[in-house]
Amino acid sequence: MPIEINWMEEVNKRKSSIIEDTQKFLQIKSVLDENETSIDAPLGVGIAKALQFLLNKGENDGFIVKNLNGLAGHIEYGTGKELIGILCHVDVVPEGDGWTSDPYGAEIRENKIFARGAIDDKGPTIAAYYALKIVKELGEPFQKRVRIILGTDEESNWRCVDHYFKHEEMPTMGFAPDADFPIINAEKGILDFTLTQHFQASGEQGEIVLQSFQAGRRLNMVPDMAVAILECKTEKSGDLLKEQFVLFLQNNNVKGKAVLRDHTVELKLEGISAHGMEPNNGKNAGLLLNQFLAKQHLDNNGTKFSTFVNQYLGQETRGHTIGIAFEDQISGELTINCGILSYDRAGIGEIGLNLRYPVSHKIEESKKKIIAIAEGNGFSYTELDDSKPHYVDEQTPFIQILKKVYEQQTGGKAELLAIGGGTYARSLTSGVAFGPLFPGRPDVAHQKDEYIEIEDLLRATAIYAQAIYELVKN
């Protein structure tokens, strides 16, 4: 074995089969289908076919393969006590509308393969597969075992990894080619919760009664539209409200509308949508409309709702007003996104929040603070989900190897990344996200006309191959 292996050359020798297999794999429509399930295909026929496609390939190429009830599988090679995991997924999100070519055609145009799943995550899965195949074919001894773990439910409920790790060993270390290059080693914790207002019957009513208020549908999105319906005692107060609202829109430089019918005013405000991991990229229509409402002479319950929201959430996204702001070196600032605001005069008020906290943040203390504030104001706290932060120390030899490989192959610097989102890597105890999207490339995952650059597919294969080689040689 020559000391210097030219990884790109090894990849190029297999270029046509890498491209062909990627196309074949992409032509299987592996979208979750709960309506057409069976014992062998618990998530639908397409996903089962995609999983089997890779396991068959693995078997033909001389790997040890295993199918875990159609929910997950693995392709393994090597010997040794330690296990390296490469976590991929075969499921894709539905194709949606507006494609230039068949979303499952895997057509090649301008050196790109176009298909749903091309970059997320079927192209990278083939890259990881060929990487392992190349190292195996070079004939070097493996001092560790390597497993490509194939998930089937990453885009929905992660039932795949839940099932897999209930029955199979956790790799000593691993990576998931399901996000960005160079390396993501820190992911914030994600807490989803609601604060629910308890309606209090009250005789005393203000000049204006808040009938309903609605903004947003998902906790992890910044609401781009908010609508409030208010009942005014007199036509005059309705006119005045309308006037003030138009001025408010102008002052805040946002679009909206006020419609007065009899004694009822409907206020609409348009914001800008953004992902909840960085609410500052959007403009929260709900919080802004609420700010306007909080200044009006509303009925008691309406006042309680809007005042609470305005006082403790205001317009900021870092948790200062509720007293939980925090920041650390590794993963940056805590963020809070108010994804849902809903109020119904006949029912209850609800605030839906998505909080992303740094890896060293003491979340239990923040929860206590939030609960105390909520309860002191007639609201109750309901936790929906708390996904803990994920962090692998930069100094571990494993990360040092990935950094070295990335730098050698790309000539770029392997800066470690910390993100607010949760990647598939967090299902590995010591896992990082490692590719496949190179810096500067647009992220087309989940979009129409999703594609992978053939050059990137091959480059990722070479990087993964060298990474496997370096990781198993000692």
- Judge whether 19 and 454 are in contact, CB under 8 Å: yes
Q: Catalytic annotation on 102?
A: no
Of the two residues 287 and 428, which places its CB atom closer to Zn ion in the complex?
A: 428
Nearer residue to Zn ion within complex by CB, 28 or 269 = 28
The nearer residue to Zn ion, 179 or 191, going by C-beta atoms, is 179
Q: Considering the complex, state which of residue 160 and residue 463 has its C-beta at the smaller distance from Zn ion.
A: 160
User: Are the beta carbons of 335 and 315 closer than 8 angstroms?
Assistant: no
Contact between 97 and 448 (Cβ < 8 Å): yes
The span from the CA of 261 to the CA of 258, in Å, is 10
Residue 153 annotated as catalytic: no
Closest contact distance (angstroms) between CB of 457 and Zn ion is 15
Quote the least distance from Cβ 121 to Zn ion, whole Å.
Answer: 4
- Spatial neighbors of 25 by CB under 8 A, at least 6 apart, are 50, 53, 54, 90, 122, 125, 126
Task: Name the E strands within 69-200.
Answer: 72-77, 83-89, 107-109, 112-114, 145-151, 173-176, 179-180, 183-187, 189-197
Would you say 154 or 224 has its CB closer to Zn ion? 154
Quote the least distance from Cβ 448 to Zn ion, whole Å: 17
Q: Does 180 sit near Zn ion (CB under 5 A)?
A: no
Which of 82, 23, 343 minimizes the C-alpha distance to 213?
A: 343
The least distance separating Zn ion from the CB of residue 29, rounded to whole angstroms, comes to 16
CA distances to 80, 195, 225, 312, 313 from 336, rounded to whole Å, are 45, 14, 18, 11, 9
Q: Stretches 139-147, 177-185, 384-392, 455-463: which one binds Zn ion (CB under 5 A)?
A: 177-185
Indicate which residue of 91, 224, 278, 299 is catalytic.
Answer: 91
Query: What is the CB neighbour count within 10 angstroms for residue 350?
Result: 17
Measured from the Cβ of residue 249, the count of other Cβ atoms closer than 10 Å reads 21
Question: How many other β-carbons are positioned within 10 Å of the β-carbon of residue 101?
Answer: 13
Compute the least distance from the CB of residue 450 to Zn ion, in Å.
11
The SS3 assignment for 348 reads coil
For residue 340, list its beta bridge partners: 352
Least distance to Zn ion, CB of residue 158, Å: 11
Only segment of 174-182, 335-343, 387-395, 453-461 that touches Zn ion (CB under 5 A)? 174-182
Q: Which of 10, 91, 153, 178 binds Zn ion (CB under 5 A)?
A: 178
Q: Which is nearer to Zn ion, 298 or 445 (CB)?
A: 445
Q: Are the C-beta atoms of 163 and 67 separated by less than 8 Å?
A: no
Q: How far is the CB of 279 from Zn ion (least distance, A)?
A: 23
Q: Which is nearer to Zn ion, 178 or 187 (CB)?
A: 178
Contact 116, 458 (CB under 8 A): no
- The residue assigned the tokens 């292996």 is 5
Q: Least distance in Å: CB of 130 to Zn ion?
A: 19
Which residues 101-160 are close enough to bind Zn ion by CB under 5 A? 120-121
User: CB of 180: closest distance to Zn ion in angstroms?
Assistant: 11
Bridge partner list, 307: none
- Long-range contacts of the stretch 405-411 (C-beta < 8 A, 24+): 405/463, 405/466, 405/467, 405/470, 406/181, 406/182, 406/183, 406/434, 406/463, 408/466, 409/7, 409/8, 409/459, 409/462, 409/463, 409/466, 410/181, 410/438, 410/459, 410/463
Q: Which of 10, 120, 153, 154 is catalytic?
A: 154
Residue 309: closest CA among 288, 334, 280: 288
Q: Which is nearer to Zn ion, 116 or 268 (CB)?
A: 116
Exposure of 439 in the CB half-sphere (CA atoms within 13 A): 13
Which residues in the 251-310 window bind Zn ion by CB under 5 A?
none
- Tell me whether residue 51 or residue 215 sits nearer to Zn ion (CB atom): 51
| Catalytic positions | 91, 154
Residues at the interface with Zn ion (CB under 5 A): 120-121, 178
